[in-house]
Structure 1
Amino acid sequence: LYWQFRPKTDTYVQLGCDEDHLALHFNPRFKDDTDGAVLVCNSKMDGCWGHEEREKHMTGFLSPFSLQIVLKLTGDVFEVEMPNGHVIKFPNRHVLEVITYVRIRGDLNNPNDYIITDLISHVLIL
């Protein structure tokens, strides 16, 4: 996924079954009130957010407003591979085996630049 976004937009990738059942919410924040620049991962079950995990390792960004990542589900863990090889791991808390919902918020430079494989039923690009 090569992804560009505006500086002040709410930007994230969500993977799960639907908007109330998210196995992974991946949210880069450049001006977070608590940590400044941080990558936030979370999950949601029955509409309730889980505990946020924060990663201050932001060197994978190509510029402050673009990001190239590889998202993988490897059983009980999601892996987010940054261009520099750093891998962020986030647990598959709800043990989803199949992702049927993908939502990407932020400006994609070209929607054809990303590839999603393996049993995705629909994609929302906002």
Structure 2
Amino acid sequence: MSCGPVCTNLGLKPGQRLTVKGKIAPSAKSFVMNLGKDASHLGLHFNPRFDAHGDVNTIVCNSKKVEEWGAEHRETVFPFQKGGIAEITFGINPNDVTVHLPGHQFTFPNRLGLSVFDYFDTQGDFTLQSLSWE
């Protein structure tokens, strides 16, 4: 999976939001956005899958502590289109992350108990166009 930009020292705390905009490849199979402390401690692994790992049009979320993955969480609402533009906002809360998608939102628990999210990266069939936080 190709790796995009990596951001460190973000300092995202509860009450703040990270908005990601980009273009999905026309032949996309999947893409990933990771939020956490660092590459080994991911509070949220966000993985929309068009057709990958046995999933079709499914968003798979997980967390990772060192090399240990947690239980996968699947969302069946899939607002992404191959070749389209994606805008996703991650709202940081004390106990979870709210993922805002076009026409849908869901929460994912902060399993690692992170008080600050310093790390963000993108991978796969997605080209980052802008990143903003407030």
Aligned residue in 1 for 2:64: 44
Q: Which amino acid aligns with 2:24?
A: F
Structure with larger RCO (C-alpha < 8 A, sep 6+): 2
The one of 98, 105, 111 equivalent to 1:93 is 111
Cα 1:64–1:9, aligned 2, differ >3 Å: closer, same or farther?
Answer: closer
Aligned residues of 2:42 and 2:65 also touching (Cα < 8 A): yes
- Tell me whether 1:72 sits opposite 2:85 in the alignment: no
Aligned residues of 2:24 and 2:82 also touching (Cα < 8 A): no
Q: Which amino acid aligns with 1:21?
A: H
The one of 5, 18, 21 equivalent to 2:38 is 18
Aligned residues of 2:23 and 2:127 also touching (Cα < 8 A): yes
TM-score normalised by structure 1 residue count = 0.78
TM-score normalised by structure 2 residue count = 0.74
Percentage of identical aligned residues:
32
Aligned residues of 1:3 and 1:68 also touching (Cα < 8 A): yes
How far, CA to CA, are the matches of 1:52 and 1:93 in structure 2?
12
The one of 85, 93, 102 equivalent to 2:120 is 102
Aligned residues of 2:43 and 2:114 also touching (Cα < 8 A): yes
What secondary structure sits across from 1:107 in the alignment? Answer: strand
Runs of 5+ in structure 1 lacking a partner?
118-126
How far, CA to CA, are the matches of 1:23 and 1:53 in structure 2?
13
How far, CA to CA, are the matches of 1:26 and 1:104 in structure 2?
9
How far, CA to CA, are the matches of 1:95 and 1:51 in structure 2?
16
